[in-house]
Amino acid sequence: MESTVCRTESIVTADMDGETVMMHVESGNYFGLGEVGSTIWSMLEEPIRVRSIVDRLSESYDVERARCEAETLAFLVEMSTLGMIEEIVSQ
Amino acid sequence: MMHKTKIYRAYGLMIESEIELPELIEDQGIPDVTVRIGTVPELSEANTGKYQRIRATKDELLLTVEEVAQYYVENGKSIVVCPIEPIDESAIRLFLLGSAFGALLQQRGYYVLHGSAVESKGKAYVFSGQSGAGKSTLTATLAMKGYPLIADDVCAIDVRPGSPPTVLPGFPRIKLCKDAAELLEKDCSAALPVRAGFEKYNFPVGEIIQSQTYPIGGIFILRKNEKDGVRIDPITGLHRVRVLVRNTYRRQFIKIIRDEKKLLEQCAYISSQVSLYRLSRGVTGSSPGEIAFYLEKNGWLGSSI
C-alpha cells in the first residue's frame, strides 16, 4: 500500500468512443480500460502511492474500504504484469 | 535520367518534379512538394532501423534502397533522390511513388494505410491486407466494373477529430503481377514494368478527380482461408485498432521515430467512425470476379442490385 507506482514508457494510449485504448509498443499487445481502469490510469499521470489511489477511489465510488483496497491491488498487479506500470523503489 | 521539370497533381498536392513521372497526371499550379535529384544528407544523428536502411527524425527520413537510390524526404514538402548506378528509372520511380511518397504523406500528418480504394456513390471502399492477399487485383476488377480507382497501395486518409475520415485521391495506376494481369485479360505490353526484371506492371486505370476527397464507406481486410467461397465478418472492439495498426503503410517508419501514440490515435479514431470487416476468400469460389460480384450483390458497396 505504501509503494509508489508509475506508468512505464512502453504504453501509448488513445481514446476510442470514450474508452481508453492502450498499446504496449514492444509487445504489440492491446488493452482496453473500462471506467474504473481509465480512472486509475489517469491517476497514474504522475507517480502516486497505492494508498492514494485507494483513497481517491473510495471517495468517488460507494464501496467498502477493504474491498476497494483488495480490488485496486489486484488491478495494479495485473497492470504491472502486462507491463503498463512499474514500482518506483525509493532511495 | 529525364531532367525536364514538370508539375503533377496527386493526393491533392501539386508536385514539381525533376524526374519524369509518367504514372502521375500533369497539372499546373504552385508546387506544394518538390522532387529533385541531388545529394542527400547523412542523418548520422537520427534514429535508425534494424538494417540501417532507414534513418529518421520527426521531420526527416532517409531511405536507402540498395542498387536503386537514396531518398531524403523532408518536412512533408521535399524529396531529394540520389540515384545509385547503374540507373534503373522504373525502380527509382517505384520506391519514389511508394515508400518516399508514403513517408511524405505521413510527415504531412495523414494516416497511410497499405491498401487500395475505389469509389461507389461518393464514398471510398478500402481493401487492405497482407501483400499477396489480392487487394490490387480486386481493386482492378472493381475498377473494370465501373467503380473508379481512388488510390492503389498507398492509401492516405485524412484523420481529423470531428470530421469523417476521408481518403485522398492518388494517381491512376494499379500495380499487378503478371498472373493477375493475365487473369484480368490485361495486356502487359501496354503497362509500365515496376522494376527491371520483375514481372509486375503498373496499369493505367481511368481517371482520378484530384479536387475530391472521399469519406469512407467501409474498410475490408482481405485474407485467405481454407474454406471455400467468400465470407465477410465485422471486426469489433480492440481488434479494429490492432488490424489498422498492423496494416499501416511502412509501419517501420513510424516505429523508428517512436510516433506510435499518434498512430494509435489515428487508428482509434478511424475505428470509431468507420465500419471494418474481415473479407475471407477461400481456396475456390473466390476469384476477384466472384468477390466483386459478392460485394455488389450483398450491398457492401453502398448499393444493392
Tens-digit pLDDT profile for residues B200-231: 899 988 888 888 999 999 999 999 888 888 99
Q: Supply φ then ψ for residue B265, to 5 degrees.
A: -60, -45
pLDDT over threshold 70, residue A90: no
Under an 8 A CB cutoff, do B268 and A25 touch?
no
| Interface test mutation site (partner A, options B264, B267, B275, max chain A beta carbons within 10 A) | B264
Tens-digit pLDDT profile for residues B35-49: 999 999 999 888 998
Nearest CB among B238, B258, B260 relative to A21 is that of B238
Q: Write the DSSP assignment of B224-287 as a string of letters.
A: E-SSSSEEEEE--THHHHHHHHHTBTTHHHHHHTT-HHHHHHHHHHHHHHS-EEEEEE-SSS--
Identify the CA nearest to A78 among candidates A31, A43, A39.
Answer: A31
Give a yes or no: residue A26 inside a domain.
yes
CB proximity B265 to A under 8 Å: yes
CATH number, domain B111-297: 3.40.50
pLDDT over threshold 50, residue B305: no
pLDDT over threshold 70, residue B150: yes
pLDDT over threshold 50, residue B265: yes
pLDDT, position B81: 98
Give a yes or no: residue A49 inside a domain.
yes
Tens-digit pLDDT profile for residues B198-208: 888 999 888 88
Distance from C-alpha of B174 to C-alpha of A18, rounded to nearest angstrom: 38
Give the pLDDT mean for A54-64.
Answer: 87
**Residue B160: pLDDT band with limits 50, 70, 90:** very high
> Which chain B residues are closer than 8 Å to A12 by Cβ?
260-261, 264
Under an 8 A CB cutoff, do A16 and B269 touch?
yes
Domain count within chain A = 1
Nearest CB among B238, B242, B261 relative to A12 is that of B261
Q: What is the DSSP pairing of strand B13-17 with strand B33-37? A: parallel
CATH code assigned at A24: 1.10.10
- Supply the ipTM of this predicted assembly: 0.78
Cβ atoms of residues B200 and B176 within 8 Å: yes
Tens-digit pLDDT profile for residues A3-40: 899 999 889 999 888 788 999 988 888 988 878 888 89
In the chain, the amino acid numbered B127 is F
Q: Supply φ then ψ for residue B110, to 5 degrees.
A: -80, 155
Its domain, for residue A59, covers: 4-83
pLDDT, position B96: 97
Least confident range of A29-43, B59-73, B242-256, B269-283: A29-43
Look up residue B251 and give its three cell numbers.
Answer: 509501419
CB proximity B252 to A under 8 Å: no
**Domains of chain B, residue spans:** 6-107, 111-297
Give a yes or no: residue A88 inside a domain.
no
pTM here is: 0.91
CB proximity B272 to A under 8 Å: yes
Sheet holding B6-10: strands in order across? B25-26, B6-10, B13-17, B33-37, B78-83, B69-74, B60-65, B54-56, B47-48
